[in-house]
Amino acid sequence: MPTKNPVSRAIGISLLCAGLTSGGCASIFHGGNREIKINTEPAGAKATISKPAGEVVTVQTTPCTVSLNPRKKYFQGQSYQLKLELDGYKTAEIELRPSISGWYFANIIIGGAIGMVAVDPATGAMWNIEPSKIEQKLTSNQAALIKNRDGFVVVLASSLTENERAGMVRIK
């Protein structure tokens, strides 16, 4: 039975040990916080990001880029709630949710067990936050349409008060 060359055996053992003891792949390729780009039309909206329990993380004015920690707990990604507010426009709310990074699965080949069960879950690098880019068109508020005389509002006549009915104008 032929034996392997001692040099190739040493290289194989070294690669195996390096794979088992190296840091996690996701930590290497994109560790740290995630950048979320937020833009609204029109610009200038107040962007409030909070955790599900209500803790406000940051308040910015659009357009902006925020940096969010993707880690909640060991093996748990952090979700956030984004609220966009601008006078005369309806408030828009967007959920920012965690998703597993594709780099996390590279641990099977490169990072090994240590990266998969210890490094990436502990650092939060196994998580991304989606969506990472937000382009939100804000919708005009009905009150703003009336105040600015920019449009009209359709309502049922039966839902109006007598004074509101008296102020109606017939359009032909």
* Cα 3 from Cα 114, distance rounded (Å): 31
- Per-residue pLDDT tens digits for 99-144: 877 666 665 666 566 665 666 666 767 788 999 999 999 988 765 5
- Average pLDDT of the chain, as a whole number: 77
The answer to whether position 128 is within a domain reads yes
Average pLDDT over residues 2-24: 56
The answer to whether position 41 is within a domain reads yes
The answer to whether position 150 is within a domain reads no
CA distances from 17 to 10, 20, 92 (A): 10, 5, 51
The answer to whether position 37 is within a domain reads yes
Task: Kindly report the CATH number assigned to the domain that includes residue 54.
Answer: 2.60.40
Assess whether pLDDT exceeds 80 at residue 171: no
Assess whether pLDDT exceeds 70 at residue 147: no
The answer to whether position 11 is within a domain reads no
Average pLDDT over residues 25-35: 66
* Cα 89 from Cα 42, distance rounded (Å): 10
The answer to whether position 154 is within a domain reads no
Q: What is the residue range of 105's domain?
A: 25-138
What's the full length of the chain, in residues? Answer: 172
The answer to whether position 155 is within a domain reads no
The answer to whether position 168 is within a domain reads no
Give pTM, 2 decimals. Answer: 0.64
* Number of domains observed in the structure of the chain: 1
